Amino acid sequence: MNPFRSPKSGPVSSGHSEKQKQFFRSLKKGSRFPSFAQLTHLPKLISKRERPIFWTAAVVALLSFVFIFVWGYTTHLVIVPAHGGTYTEGLIGSPQFINPIYASANDVDADISRLVYSGLMKWDPQAGLIPDLAESYTVSDDELVYTLSLRSDAMWHDGTPVTPRDIIFTFHTIQNPDYGSPLNGTFRGVSIEQVDERTVSFTLDESFAPFLSTLGVGILPADYWGELDPGTMRLAERNLVPIGSGPYKFDTLEKDTLGVIKSYKLQRNTSYYAGTPFINTFIFKFYPDTVSAIEALNSRRVEGIAFAPKDQLSKLNGQIVTPSLPQITALFFNLKKDIVSDKNMRVALGSAINKDILVQEILQNQAAVTNSPVLSSYHNDSTVYGNPTPFDQSVARANLDTAGWTVKEGDTIRTNKSDESLILTITTVDQPETVSVAERIAAMWREVEIDARIEIKSPTEFRDVTLKNRDYSLLLSGILMGSDPDPYPFWHSSQITAPGLNLSQFANRDADGYIETARSTTNIEERRTAYASFADQINSVVPAIFLYQPTYTYVTANKIHGIELETIVVPSDRFGRVQAWYIKTKKRLSFLAS
């Protein structure tokens, strides 16, 4: 029987006190539970002997409730990213064109452009090549027509929508040689059309397997740039005051008294279609070389640097991220220079290099030895294509003798029949890592009686003079293969002269054929077969000594969280998921965190 339920009839039992009788009479007829007002009478029902037990039980119940509440709250409380904070990064060089049709020629421009602009596709460090401004795409059966549908929520930083007109304007500008875009050759012969208000199509003259990967170039707003002709685009202030559709938008820049840009500030784009970035502000500061950038990092004037030499990593402040990079570092022989035109000489020089030592001691094992012109992602074994120059100093000496360079008794340097000393010069760019590698190779060659020297070029001279004029006999350089490992720009005979990047000036009809076969199909096995045959042709000639595939070393402040970099194609790809980086945090219950 419920003691709080009113009896249906008859007087209250004579066993209850008058207070208890009043309490029971106060219950509403048919009520199963008492009201709060009724419960206030409950203490009056308890005898003096029962009250200590009652209050003890009440306190225990209350404490138990508090404990369960606090335990449940703290157990389900998680730390999640919050909006706010500023990140300052040091870059080597200075901005010139924050304009995607020119930015690929300058790492600083490429880095900033990646934050400001969006392309139809993009490289995601975790997922690989994915749609960006494009919502979806289709490829025709003959692999000649690529049709892309645009996102409906993509907006320019001024609040206007991204449209097919902007896409067509950007690629027509690149295709027009009067604008001088370094991307011109990539889109030569490609026609672009608007299909409907949200769709564009690209039609190729012939199938080109890496085509989708070329569509990562940032898109320009036609309304902002359309009024400028080829003669004024390069001179326009808009190259430094951009409007894009990316995660960050231009805020301010600072110049010194000579007009040199010292810093560049970006603010987050709160209307970014892929989600508002957590970090409020990005600031870039610019330095002339790696040494000054490292000094700025260690003195905390910046919180990260875009690239750090591997032999300096132990001395740097911050967290070190090392994504893989589709790059091959090699020693390229200029086959048109007499001193390395002899294959015996090239084999000897390769046989005198201990690649394992380079990777272990200079690169701190942040690289993998390679013997191939093809990226390891296209073969399971780094030796699958063979190694025409395994490390063996006796083989090196024998080949040098065969090439006519011998050591006379008492001499430490080889000479030829004309009594000329064997002096070789390795040309490389002024970067600590490549300079250290060049110096170590020179030391290895001295062990086989070669007078080896180093010629160091500034980045600007290296790009504008050394590479353009093919002004070297031996060149130590890395080549970035891109998201698709197409060797065409570096080994096809059509790329022997600048702006092509056939650095060895290698010309082989069979190799050209295999390259063309591989880039004309998306079938992975067919491409691997073609690349293996191409590598055989390379190894039969030895136009270069392939040394290693490095990782990219990126240093940021420990306060930056959410950086997930597995693989990047170019350094600017480190910003592929920048909207997920965060500095500030807040606490939230786990079932509300999403």
**Tens-digit pLDDT profile for residues 318-367:** 899 999 889 999 999 999 998 999 999 999 999 999 999 999 999 989 99
Domain layout of the chain by residue ranges: 18-75, 88-320, 327-550
In this structure, which topology does domain 88-320 adopt according to CATH? D-Maltodextrin-Binding Protein; domain 2 (3.40.190)
DSSP-derived secondary structure letter, 12: P
The burial class, CB within 10 Å (0-12 / 13-18 / 19+), for 139 is middle
Q: What is the mean pLDDT of residues 253-261?
A: 92
Beta bridge partners of 131: 121
From CA 387, how far away is CA 397, in angstroms rounded? Answer: 18
From CA 248, how far away is CA 112, in angstroms rounded? Answer: 9
Smallest Cα–Cα separation from 467: which of 438, 447, 495, 440? 495
H or E segment to which residue 188 belongs = none
Residues 402-419: tens digit of each pLDDT? 999 999 999 999 999 999
* Lowest mean pLDDT segment, chosen from 37-46, 96-105, 545-554: 37-46
H or E segment to which residue 436 belongs = helix 432-446
Count of helix runs (H) and strand runs (E) in the chain: 18, 21
Q: Check pLDDT > 90 for residue 463.
A: no
Q: Residue 317: which residues within 8 A CB-CB, separation 6 or more? A: 297, 298, 300, 555, 557
Neighbours of 544 (CB within 10 A): 25
Per the prediction, the chain carries an average pLDDT of 89
Can you give the pLDDT at residue 149?
Answer: 98
H or E segment to which residue 124 belongs = strand 121-124
* Token pair for 262: 């010292």
CATH annotation of 327-550: 3.10.105.10
CA atoms within 13 A of residue 414's CA, in its CB half-sphere: 25
Q: What is the mean pLDDT of residues 554-583?
A: 94
pTM equals 0.78
Q: Check pLDDT > 90 for residue 152.
A: yes
Q: What is the mean pLDDT of residues 457-472?
A: 92
H or E segment to which residue 199 belongs = strand 199-203
Q: Check pLDDT > 50 for residue 373.
A: yes
Smallest Cα–Cα separation from 89: which of 569, 585, 563, 586? 563
pLDDT band, very low/low/confident/very high, at 8 (cuts 50, 70, 90): very low
Sole residue written with tokens 């191409």? 534
Q: Check pLDDT > 90 for residue 382.
A: no
pLDDT band, very low/low/confident/very high, at 71 (cuts 50, 70, 90): confident
Q: What is the mean pLDDT of residues 24-51?
A: 63
* Lowest mean pLDDT segment, chosen from 379-383, 408-412, 436-440: 379-383
From CA 155, how far away is CA 133, in angstroms rounded? Answer: 10
Q: What is the mean pLDDT of residues 155-171?
A: 97
End-to-end CA distance of the chain: 48
Q: What is the mean pLDDT of residues 287-310?
A: 91
* Token pair for 560: 């930056």
Can you give the pLDDT at residue 352?
Answer: 98
Report which residue type is found at 589. L
Q: Tell me, letter by letter, the H, E, C secondary structure of 153-212.
A: CCECCCCCECCHHHHHHHHHHHHCHHHCCCCHHHHCCCEEEEEECCEEEEECCCCCCCHH
Q: Which residue has the higher pLDDT, 438 or 483?
A: 438
> Does residue 311 sit in helix, strand or coil?
helix
Residue 315 — φ and ψ, nearest 5°? -100, 0
Q: Check pLDDT > 50 for residue 2.
A: no
Residues 210-221: tens digit of each pLDDT? 999 999 999 999
